[in-house]
Amino acid sequence: MLTVDLKALGLKDGERLLDLGCGAGRHLHNAYYKAKIEAFGLDRSLPDVLKTRDGFAAYPDMTPGAECRFRLLVGDCLALPFPEASFDTIICSEVLEHLPRYEIALAEMARILKPGGKLAVSVPRFWPEWICWRLATGYHTVPGGHVRIFKPAVLQGAIERAGFQFQRRHYAHGLHSPYWWLQCLVWARRESDPLVKAYHRFLVWDIMRRPWLTRVLSRIADPLMGKSLVLYFRKEA
């Protein structure tokens, strides 16, 4: 389930990409096969980094003697273990909403990205996220949960002040917003609620099969109620 449009990043052979807060590797795995890039994934969660590694292990070029073009690290996005101007592209998807001091992470991204490099950032969209907060306190107070809701202009301004030039924006996962609202409505029993389970099966069917019906529904729902806001930038030369 991709949030960032990898085609918009224009990945080229020989480039270095960092997936900052890579989680289980959904963007990193896909980017790795878009071009012959050197792919880095960093997350503070060791179990997630191990899931990313296991995902790579299933691919053909992990056979003995094949070139390994990825590196995985456990680390802190407030103090990145890379020298200046190390990367051509950075993806930071669904991370900044978790950080009390997200401006430090933006400064670190600006430090390690090459001049003219590309940055893709996604966060939960303001109004769908606001509904979740209103419906269930537990949604954002769980350990490691969201600490803020970003207004688009505030986030864009913060990234521009860090040294980036805004390129474009879009919204993603319009079909997912009702799923989260439904979970929040029945938060205490969300794992057993039959409606939540049924909607989850629908989303899995959509992700795995991509039928024409859900593709059409997504094109309608994404701009109207997309769960994620996705912003694209270039680092100033």
pLDDT at 63: 46
For the segment 142-169, the average pLDDT, to the nearest whole number, is 96
Checking if the pLDDT of 49 tops 90, the result is: yes
Q: Which of 65, 68, 185, 195 is nearest to 134 (CA)?
A: 185
**Res. 66 pLDDT band, cuts 50 70 90:** low
pLDDT at 199: 98
pLDDT at 58: 81
**Res. 67 pLDDT band, cuts 50 70 90:** low
pLDDT at 60: 60
pLDDT digits (tens, 9 = 90+) for 80-136: 999 999 999 999 999 999 999 999 999 999 999 999 999 999 999 999 999 999 999
pLDDT at 209: 95
Q: Which of 60, 163, 65 is nearest to 107 (CA)?
A: 163
Following DSSP, what letter does each residue of 199-230 receive, concatenated? Answer: HHHHHHHHHHH--HHHHHHHHHHHHHH-SEEE
pLDDT at 42: 98
Q: Which CATH code for domain 6-125+138-174+226-235? A: 3.40.50.150
pLDDT digits (tens, 9 = 90+) for 10-48: 999 999 999 999 999 999 999 998 889 999 999 999 999
